Chains A and B, each alone.
Chain A
Amino acid sequence: MFNLIRRDVILQKRLLLTFIPFIAFFIIMDSHPALIFLVASIFIPFNAYGYDEKAETNILLNSLPYTRREIIASRYLGAIIYMILAIGVTSLALFALDKSFTMTDIAIGGGLFLLFSAFTFPLFHIFKPGNITTVVLIGFILLAGVVPPIVMFFAEHLTAITDFIVNVPTTYLYWGAAAIILVAYTVSWGVTTTIYQRKAF
């Protein structure tokens, strides 16, 4: 299982060299730290899916002594591990460039990443290879472009809900969000496993 997670590093050896400049670019552009954490986390897992959309990769992995359950588990666990590593590296980069950030930024960036993963990972196995990158791109634009206005809309017009949220103590809010993300991620994991087990290569 660990081997499956480690293979992403071997595969993306060269790409990883661009990781630091990639983050540095966002930092210099003075992006919001939470966004930087999000983008940094996405880097490895989604590049890995770029490889996995090839049918040959699935034929290879499924011919090796791995179960389909393990292959999917490595994706979901790998995403968390790489997220933690990315957050670590990004924090160091922010320190080095003398930018301030808070634990909340990390929590928001990481939370959004997990939520985004929860929604997109199953899609990788539903759509045909070749369409996946498009799907992810659209997914990302939707998340980045459509969700905030919707949230704003709710904030302005459904004051009952926003009032409720505002009145809930912040710690509860964070715990609630964490719980929702956790549930979404776990459900997504289960769904992807089921889809993947039925696939033919």
Chain B
Amino acid sequence: MENVVELKNVTKKFKGFSVENIDLQVKKGFVTGFIGANGAGKSTTIKMIMNLLKPDTGEIKIFGLDYQTHEKEIKERIGFVYDGNVFFEGLNLKDIKRIVAPAYKHWDDTLFEQFVDQFELPLNKAIKTFSKGMQMKASLAIALSHHAELIIMDEPTAGLDPIFRRELLNLLQEFMVDGNRTIFFSTHITTDLDRIADYIAFLQRGELVFNQSIHDVAENYALVKGRVELLDRDTEKAFVHIHRAPTGFEALTNNVNAVNNTFGNSVVIERASLEDIMYYMKGRESYV
């Protein structure tokens, strides 16, 4: 399967914070959700993918091209949406379009007008008077109007109301009907992902914990509940992290088969949500 984004052994170090040895592939034609707690390095990774930051070591390829020689070709094919407004806030949407549109070879005015109508965006009001949701819609209208093949979004749903979040997901699904398109977006609202994500990349403290299809995640990870007596040094190996309570234990496993072999019917196995996985993974660190 073709990879649209490929990070090989990418490391970027800051004072007191770093993203290390990231190997990440984003598959063409699918939606990859990028999850992780605040400060895990999601924005840093996205900035490196956009060439706003350069990695200390490692290799980044977008559409199989690198930024040293193909920066314009790459960005021509990317639509971006960031958490905050990056457009000149004193300007109205019409003027912003006038600045952004000529940058792209494949800018489509008709398409843009269609989105402006659909999102009910005012063309003559300064962007700074827009609500968070409207700013987001404006960014999206701009990102989707030049026939981009890859949409990169940093926390697009943060601060949006549930209705607009749902509308946004519908719109993205519409976008994905064309199989040549790819979406990569970071979020910490994991319910957004249940609906549209095909792959989940999970970043924790600057390290990529996994990048798997949602089916692999569902088949490998599970919550296991049982009596505390069942746990010993050997059986504990099957778990990523264990919570003990007087009433019994609850643990996360990343190997459901091993748990089945070890415990059989003596434990209850439940589907683990992405939130469960993030929560227990975090626990693992303070535990070790």
The residues in B between 135 and 174 inclusive whose CB is less than 8 angstroms from any CB of A are none
Quick check: is A11 within 8 A (CB to CB) of the other chain?
yes
Contact indicator per residue, chain B 89-106, by CB within 8 Å of chain A (1) or not (0): 001000100111011110
Inter-chain contacts of B130 with A (CB < 8 A): none
Chain B, Cβ-Cβ closest to A13? B95
**Contact of B103 with A3 in the complex, beta carbons under 8 Å:** yes
Return the contact of B86 from the options A3, A56, A65 (Cβ within 8 A).
A56
The residues in A between 49 and 80 inclusive whose CB is less than 8 angstroms from any CB of B are 51, 56-57, 59-60, 62-67
Inter-chain contacts of B72 with A (CB < 8 A): 65-67
Chain B, Cβ-Cβ closest to A68? B71
**Contact of B75 with A65 in the complex, beta carbons under 8 Å:** yes
**Contact of A65 with B104 in the complex, beta carbons under 8 Å:** yes
Chain A, Cβ-Cβ closest to B152? A63
Of B76-84, B113-121, B274-282, the one touching chain A: B76-84
Quick check: is A164 within 8 A (CB to CB) of the other chain?
no
Inter-chain contacts of A64 with B (CB < 8 A): 75, 100, 103-104
Quick check: is A10 within 8 A (CB to CB) of the other chain?
yes
Contact indicator per residue, chain A 181-201, by CB within 8 Å of chain B (1) or not (0): 000000000000000001011
Output the least CB separation between B109 and chain A (Å). Answer: 15
Given contacts A59-B52, A63-B75, contact A11 B104 (CB under 8 A): no
Contact indicator per residue, chain B 35-63, by CB within 8 Å of chain A (1) or not (0): 00000000000010011111000000000
Inter-chain contacts of B175 with A (CB < 8 A): none
**Contact of B86 with A200 in the complex, beta carbons under 8 Å:** no
Return the contact of A56 from the options B71, B84, B99 (Cβ within 8 A).
B84
Chain A, Cβ-Cβ closest to B54? A200
Quick check: is B87 within 8 A (CB to CB) of the other chain?
yes
**Contact of B88 with A51 in the complex, beta carbons under 8 Å:** yes
Inter-chain contacts of A201 with B (CB < 8 A): 47, 52-53
**Contact of A66 with B103 in the complex, beta carbons under 8 Å:** yes
Chain B, Cβ-Cβ closest to A66? B103
Quick check: is A32 within 8 A (CB to CB) of the other chain?
no
Output the least CB separation between A129 and chain B (Å). Answer: 14
Q: How far is the CA of A167 from the CA of B102 in the complex (A)?
A: 53
**Contact of A62 with B88 in the complex, beta carbons under 8 Å:** no
Quick check: is B257 within 8 A (CB to CB) of the other chain?
no
Q: How far is the CA of A99 from the CA of B85 in the complex (A)?
A: 47
Output the least CB separation between B140 and chain A (Å). Answer: 14
Quick check: is A128 within 8 A (CB to CB) of the other chain?
no
Q: How far is the CA of A198 from the CA of B87 in the complex (A)?
A: 23
Inter-chain contacts of A62 with B (CB < 8 A): 50-52
Given contacts A10-B95, A201-B47, contact A63 B86 (CB under 8 A): yes
Chain B, Cβ-Cβ closest to A55? B86
Q: How far is the CA of A200 from the CA of B82 in the complex (A)?
A: 16
Return the contact of B91 from the options A11, A59, A200 (Cβ within 8 A).
A11
**Contact of B50 with A63 in the complex, beta carbons under 8 Å:** yes
Chain A, Cβ-Cβ closest to B74? A65
Q: Which residues of A contact B (CB under 8 A)?
A: 3, 6-7, 10-11, 13, 51, 56-57, 59-60, 62-67, 198, 200-201
Q: Which 3 A-B pairs have the closest CB atoms?
A: A3-B102, A65-B75, A201-B52
Beyond known contacts A6-B102, A10-B99, A62-B50: 9 more, CB 8 A cutoff: A11-B88, A11-B99, A56-B85, A63-B52, A63-B86, A64-B104, A65-B76, A201-B47, A201-B53
